[in-house]
Structure 1
């Protein structure tokens, strides 16, 4: 016969087991993902503690923080016990974590391999559910001197205007550029439109002595390099 065990609220737990107290006593690295989220939401509901609620949310997303970082306030609010305010806290915290990764990019980055560019661009595209087109601006030593958003699109595509791209590159005195856009689907295979616009931009760059070194298709897990594949 299974014994019924009443679930206790966080305030009635042993002090060492409470997420806030645990963080103060032992440091943030000793907390589980569920305990960290429990601190953000503050309280659970009459049926489960904040930690139990956090575990349920994580379990729904297969304990994948990468997936959790992409969901909206509306998605989180569907969980019983998560109102708009709690959902906003979670989304804001995950966005801060993403931005921290972006600011950790070294100030001076020389692009020697396609992966160098990918690592700079990954924080830009991470967790987006729509397409964006960016360019990296490089000097004659292939050091990145800037990055610029060109356009935003929907789930299936975005527009990349050559006039805007080269105007920005010339204004920044770039010697070369790297094109980049993301595929929210996770599929890195270039579309016929991707191939067409790349060819057009490469040819335009040659006329201006402002060379297109590469075009990257970026996802959260991998990337496709037109340069590595011999398409530039």
Structure 2
């Protein structure tokens, strides 16, 4: 029997990932060993640790977190169940990064907006426009995805931005969207759409406080750049 096909339960206890985690803590395990604990089983020809070692020779942890369910299932030895387990664990990690246990999150700067939205959009392949609805003290009372796709004035209409803001009695809104290219520099269309929405908000009595464009580990605030007065 090859080392690859040796079952995990046949290994000495000190070499089994789960037992090592219990004894030494999760920080002592490699990425492959942590993934092995999640997947639990390998294939007829590979034990789970060998399978996970192979996965991490083909993918970095970032690439694995971004892979679609279909792409994961293309990995030899990874079927629907294992692909779903991998996808679920990375989604939990993303949600944890953006989690806040305060009753309401207060926005004091564009950096606060970035910290809330970046974990949600950093791996998206398409632009996503999200609005934050704020009360009079700049606490977030609602977060809403308005549109998915390239931002332009033909698909981003003021009524879509302000409809739920009016229902929530929001005092103001903050616009955010991501640039999948990683470069958060605003385009002419970004600036034009923002000005259009600022004007629309004034008519409705709802201030557009900022439009934060998120890139790869960085962002641009149109308020900070002087496009919103």
* 1:59 equivalent in structure 2: 57
2:151 and 2:190 in contact (8 A); partners too: no
Q: Among residues 33, 40, 63, which one is paired with 1:35 in the alignment?
A: 33
SS in 2 for 1:116: helix
Partner Cα distance (1:124, 1:83) in 2: 26
Equivalent in 160, 177, 192 of residue 156 of structure 2: 160
- Pair 1:205-2:198 in alignment: no
With normalisation by structure 1, the TM-score equals 0.86
Q: Is 1:217 matched with 2:213?
A: yes
Partner of 2:23: 25
- Conservation of the 8 A alpha-carbon contact between 1:70 and 1:129: no
Within 5 Å, which residues of 2 pair with 1:167-182? Answer: 167-182=163-178
Pick aligned residue for 1:49 from 47, 50, 57: 47
CA contact (8 A) 1:44 1:81 kept: yes
1:64-213 equivalences in 2 (<5 Å): 65-104=61-100, 106-153=102-149, 156-157=150-151, 159-213=155-209
SS at match of 2:112: helix
Q: CA deviation at 1:39?
A: 1.6
User: Please, which runs of 5 or more residues in structure 1 have no aligned partner?
Assistant: none
Partner of 1:16: 14
Which ranges of structure 2 fall in alignment gaps of 5 or more residues? none
The whole-number CA distance in structure 1 between the counterparts of 2:182 and 2:103 is 28
How far is 1:220 from its partner?
Answer: 4.7
CA distance in 2, matches of 1:182, 1:133: 7
**Cα drift, residue 115 of structure 1:** 0.2
How big is the shift at 1:151? 1.7
Q: What is the deviation of 1:157?
A: 4.5
Residue by residue over 1:117-173, the C-alpha shift from the partner in whole angstroms, topping out at 9 and shown as x without a partner, is: 1112223324322222111111222222221121223xx447322112112212111
